[in-house]
Amino acid sequence: MPVHDDTLTSTTPAPDADAPVRRSNRGFFLVAGAIVLSCLFVVIEIFANFGMKDTIAHAEYTLTKAKTAIGLAQDRGTETLDATRMTAVEPTLLWVPGDQASTGLEVVSLATEDAAWGIAVQAKPGACFYLHRTGSADVFYGVGTVCTGEQALQATDPRW
């Protein structure tokens, strides 16, 4: 009679003690995901501000054009500089009194004080460029949020 062994035998092999433990790639994907999101954020910011350099250049061009027009008016013997007289000298720009704010790239706020004058041009809401010429012909520049010629009279920087 055959003898039966009551011992159970398994058909699955025992785990190999030398096999490496498989680790999760979770940390790699967290770091890679953070890098990808950062890159996307930078690219979006670049495109969001893409036209800003052209806007700044246009504002600086308008101030230079206005400065030239004021010099021309002074050479013609214009004793007082105001928005009305400057409109006759340079009609391509919209001139407003120095207590009124510039509202765009072609709008120049002009203020005078003794022999000095200041002009301001709005590049975008909340960003304004100033040009200030003193009575001794020194020219100063500035930037700020208040876009009036009166504020431009306070500019003291040698360049933008």
- Which tens digits make up the pLDDT trace of 57-69? 899 999 999 999 9
Contact 132, 141 (CB under 8 A): yes
Tell me, yes or no, if the pTM score tops 0.75: no
For residues 8-30, average pLDDT: 70
pLDDT of residue 55: 87
Written as six digits, the tokens of 97 are 């009194």
Where does the pLDDT of residue 9 fall: very low under 50, low under 70, confident under 90, or very high at 90 and above? Answer: low
d(CA 11, CA 100): 92
**3 state DSSP class of 115:** coil
pLDDT digit string (tens) for 69-117?
Answer: 998 888 887 667 888 889 989 999 999 999 999 999 999 999 999 889 9
pLDDT of residue 119: 96
Say whether pLDDT at 54 is over 70. Answer: yes
The closest alpha carbon to 102, from 146, 68, 143, 141, belongs to 146
C-alpha distance from residue 24 to each of 21, 37, 124 (Å) = 10, 22, 50
Contact 62, 105 (CB under 8 A): yes
Neighbours of 54 (CB within 10 A): 9
pLDDT of residue 160: 73
